[in-house]
Amino acid sequence: MDMTVALVRRTIEMTVLLAAPVLALAMVVSVLINIVQVLTSIQEATVATVPRLAITAVAAFLLMPWMVRNLATFTVQLFSDFRPFLR
């Protein structure tokens, strides 16, 4: 039971580590866009959505090598130490 909890915890930690940079960047861009919308009184949904999607896509594209490297390292560590889970 303890090993299962440890495995789930490590998996959730890796998920948060991989998703956090992209989500944080999207959040910062969203706040900046919302501030600009409030100051200019432009309430167009496209003005908020398109830049957020573009920045998120660019961030995901630029961070993809780092994300894949971390995920591969995690997977190799998981499978190299898989013996305790077979009991």
Per-domain residue ranges of the chain:
2-86
End-to-end CA distance of the chain: 11
What pLDDT does residue 42 have? Answer: 83
Alpha-carbon distance 3 to 12, whole Å? Answer: 14
Rounded distance between C-alpha atoms, residue 10 and residue 28, angstroms:
27
pLDDT value of position 79: 84
pLDDT for res 87: 67
Give mean pLDDT in consecutive 10-residue pieces for the chain, a chain of 87 residues.
86 95 94 91 85 93 96 91 71
